[in-house]
A and B are shown apart, each in its own frame.
Chain A
Amino acid sequence: MSDNTRKVTIKAFRFNAETDYLPYYKQYEMEVGKDELILDLLNKIKWEHDGSFSYRRSCRHGICGACAIKVNGKATLACKQNAMELLDLFDNELVFEPSSKKRVIKDMIIDKKDFWDKHAQVQPYVVADIDSHPEHESKQSIAEFDKFLDSDLCIQCGACHYSCPALEVNPDYLGPAALNAAYRFTVDTRDNAGIERLELTSQPGVGVWDCVKCFECAEACPKEINPIEKITKLHNMQFEQGVAVSNVATRHAEGFVRSIRKHGFLDEADIVVYSEGYLGMYKHLKTAVKMMKAGKIHWQDGVPFIDNMPKIKNLDEVQKLIDISMTNKL
């Protein structure tokens, strides 16, 4: 074996939803060349080992998004990913799995219905009244185009969507791909549905406030779009455009300013009271008692923490910076 090839053991997830009782892993040994892609290895399994092995492939250029799978848990666009790089990362043993094991139809092929349904909800297209006989193009300046950032590069492969832990446990959440699309069309100056999208993506349980901030989507995206960056922008836009309504999530975000202005630090007890409101606090009484017993909440004059907080040095600087830098309000 030359330096340009390496021996690899591949464990591939196998399951046929129509005939199999349980999924299983099948092992394949092969040599891998330095220029081979994960797609080449998928092809080798099918062409040289087992013709029944199933996966999606189409463009081979990283633009159709069909061949997204997981390799050792890492979201991978098979036609873009060099195999040697992953061998370096995972020590010569690769585990091929579908993007979402819950949604398998056969082997690497999954049912992406939930992905497309979420996508459709955000109106992922320019909503505009268009003259049926236009006399000129609807032009975009460089500055207008720059607003999209890289959100327009999405190929709908589902890598981020099926890496998102919030979606795994909350089927109503739109998820990073749909939210990226919502951002893409909301900042488009030709579009008229921005407010609608911001209202949808501000809904509790559905929109941006259910993002758990794990950065799995940023890690997963083969087009390096960084969906969570767009989710943060959508959060900000809800305040900028007056769409944000006062609720536990928005007060939690805005409440940080209130605490930082007072103490420099976040007041951990106050932020919960402020976000939930006094009526909402009953949910947290049990937790508060537990924390108090463990010495995590400090009391002074019968009041937890309030005005008994440590303060940072040079707090006046922070207060001034808030006054001159803050632009958003709730």
Chain B
Amino acid sequence: MSQLHYALFTGCTAKQSTPELLSSTLAVADKLGIKITILEEASCCGASHLQDFDEFLAHVLNARNICYAEKLGLTMITICNTCQLNSAMTKHALDTDPELKARVNEKLAEVGLEYKGTSEIKHFLYTLIDEYGLDNIKDKVTVPLSHLNIAPFYGCHNIRPSELHGASNGHENPYNPTSLDELIAALEGHPVDYDHKNKCCGFHVELQANHTSELLTGNALLDAIDNNADMMVTPCPLCHLKMDTYQDDVAKVMNRDVELPVLHMPQMVALALGCTEKEIGLNFHVQKATHLQVEATA
């Protein structure tokens, strides 16, 4: 296999409140021999909120990000479901609407850029599975996760709308997604089957519809807990922020104990590949998770 090389769009969260996502992603890539070039020029994807304010501006800024991956001639990989969807929506809109593409390129020309549509956009989860391969990951496991029941939480923006994602998420069935389950199994963990694995965490209305947000988070966390999960894993840092940071608030709303460590997808892989504590960064979690590494390496 020739060396895989990707342009990484980190997104805002990995540069701020979830530094553990970036460090574990780079550690996993390093262990697997995947070359990563960080797109330091890339701006925020708009997270669907800029899109609500000014959809055209969001397309312009996302097209600019993709331009930098195109310049490198690389696939742009994301480590956030929302970055993935918003970038992919811009790509889809521009690739299917020549008039919009021309309007966007007219703006980009002012800063010396042109969107061509030559780079694919793919979440790191799916590059690991579809391009690196689960069997190859399996060969690299040094710390099997066989003692853990792991609840996969897929996050909306990686699996819906399925028609838009198409081949980029391996044609994942949004009503019965399997990629994270398969990854967990490849690391010798036990995937937990539960109804809320493909449901919404409520992150995007955290500020303006707090009660809605907390009920959605609570339903998902409790479903995983009731199905004997020892931990949850998600490919989305926004799901992570919501599920990890608000467990005590959710416990009050749901009137139940809610305590479940939530890991980023690359952190889970890093754990199984024997990466260092510093790289995995479990100390950056609000809900205690550091014991997972102690147990895993014991």
Within 8 A of A (CB), among B95-121: 107-108, 110-111, 113
Nearest chain B CB to A308 CB, angstrom units: 10
CB contacts (< 8 Å) of A170 on chain B: these are 209, 211-212
Question: Do B111 and A166 touch across chains, with their CB atoms under 8 A apart?
Answer: no
Nearest chain B CB to A44 CB, angstrom units: 23
Nearest chain B CB to A155 CB, angstrom units: 19
Nearest chain B CB to A179 CB, angstrom units: 13
Question: Do A294 and B284 touch across chains, with their CB atoms under 8 A apart?
Answer: yes
Question: Do B44 and A260 touch across chains, with their CB atoms under 8 A apart?
Answer: yes
The residue on B at minimum CB distance from A255 is B49
Please choose the segment from B14-22, B27-35, B129-137, B272-280 that sits at the chain A interface, where 4 or more of its residues have CB less than 8 A away. Answer: B14-22
A242 interface contact, C-beta 8 A: no
A276 interface contact, C-beta 8 A: yes
CB contacts (< 8 Å) of B53 on chain A: these are 235-236, 239, 250, 253-254, 256-257, 328, 330
With beta carbons under 8 angstroms apart, the residue of A73, A264, A317 that contacts B44 is A264
B13 interface contact, C-beta 8 A: yes
Question: Do B50 and A72 touch across chains, with their CB atoms under 8 A apart?
Answer: no
Q: Bound state CA distance, A252 and B211, in angstroms?
A: 17
Q: Bound state CA distance, A250 and B55, in angstroms?
A: 14
Question: Do A256 and B47 touch across chains, with their CB atoms under 8 A apart?
Answer: yes
Proximity string of chain B (198-210) to chain A, C-beta cutoff 8 Å, 1 when within and 0 when not: 0110101101110
Question: Do B205 and A212 touch across chains, with their CB atoms under 8 A apart?
Answer: yes
A23 interface contact, C-beta 8 A: no
| Residue among B49, B162, B215 with most chain A CB within 10 A | B49
Question: Do A312 and B107 touch across chains, with their CB atoms under 8 A apart?
Answer: no
Please choose the segment from B138-146, B173-181, B221-229, B260-268 that sits at the chain A interface, where 4 or more of its residues have CB less than 8 A away. Answer: B173-181
Question: Do A291 and B17 touch across chains, with their CB atoms under 8 A apart?
Answer: yes
Question: Do B43 and A265 touch across chains, with their CB atoms under 8 A apart?
Answer: yes
Proximity string of chain A (257-291) to chain B, C-beta cutoff 8 Å, 1 when within and 0 when not: 10110001110100010011000000000110011
Q: Bound state CA distance, A34 and B129, in angstroms?
A: 32
Nearest chain B CB to A283 CB, angstrom units: 8
Size band of the interface chain B makes with A: 35 or more
With beta carbons under 8 angstroms apart, the residue of A216, A248, A266, A324 that contacts B107 is A324
Known A236-B55, A295-B283, A296-B17; contact A169-B207, beta-carbon cutoff 8 A? no
Known A236-B54, A252-B49; contact A215-B156, beta-carbon cutoff 8 A? yes
Size band of the interface chain A makes with B: 35 or more
CB contacts (< 8 Å) of B41 on chain A: these are 312-314, 317
A25 interface contact, C-beta 8 A: no
Question: Do A327 and B54 touch across chains, with their CB atoms under 8 A apart?
Answer: yes
Q: Bound state CA distance, A111 and B162, in angstroms?
A: 29
Known A215-B156, A236-B54; contact A321-B64, beta-carbon cutoff 8 A? yes
Within 8 A of A (CB), among B239-256: 245-246, 248-249
CB contacts (< 8 Å) of B107 on chain A: these are 321, 324-325
Nearest chain A CB to B175 CB, angstrom units: 4
Question: Do A310 and B15 touch across chains, with their CB atoms under 8 A apart?
Answer: yes
Q: Bound state CA distance, A143 and B260, in angstroms?
A: 53
A218 interface contact, C-beta 8 A: yes
Q: Bound state CA distance, A173 and B213, in angstroms?
A: 13
Question: Do B54 and A328 touch across chains, with their CB atoms under 8 A apart?
Answer: yes
Question: Do B40 and A166 touch across chains, with their CB atoms under 8 A apart?
Answer: no
Nearest chain A CB to B138 CB, angstrom units: 24
CB contacts (< 8 Å) of A72 on chain B: these are 175-176
B216 interface contact, C-beta 8 A: yes
The residue on B at minimum CB distance from A305 is B16
Question: Do B160 and A252 touch across chains, with their CB atoms under 8 A apart?
Answer: no
Known A165-B216, A210-B205, A290-B245; contact A253-B50, beta-carbon cutoff 8 A? yes
Question: Do A313 and B40 touch across chains, with their CB atoms under 8 A apart?
Answer: yes
B46 interface contact, C-beta 8 A: yes
Q: Bound state CA distance, A89 and B175, in angstroms?
A: 9
CB contacts (< 8 Å) of B209 on chain A: these are 166, 170, 204-205, 209-210, 212
| Residue among A73, A287, A312, A328 with most chain B CB within 10 A | A312
The residue on A at minimum CB distance from B175 is A74
Known A212-B200, A318-B64; contact A253-B52, beta-carbon cutoff 8 A? yes
Q: Could you list 15 A-B pairs, sorted by A, with CB under 8 Å?
A: A72-B176, A170-B212, A212-B202, A213-B205, A214-B199, A260-B61, A265-B44, A268-B16, A275-B207, A287-B245, A291-B245, A310-B15, A321-B111, A325-B56, A326-B54
Q: Which 3 A-B pairs have the closest CB atoms?
A: A215-B160, A235-B52, A214-B200
List B residues at the A interface (Cβ < 8 Å).
Answer: 12-13, 15-19, 40-44, 46-57, 60-61, 64, 85, 107-108, 110-111, 113, 156-157, 160-162, 173-176, 195, 199-200, 202, 204-205, 207-209, 211-213, 215-216, 245-246, 248-249, 283-286
List A residues at the B interface (Cβ < 8 Å).
Answer: 72-74, 89-90, 165-166, 169-170, 173, 204-205, 208-216, 218-219, 226, 232-233, 235-236, 239, 247-250, 252-254, 256-257, 259-260, 264-266, 268, 272, 275-276, 286-287, 290-291, 293-298, 305, 309-310, 312-314, 317-318, 320-322, 324-328, 330
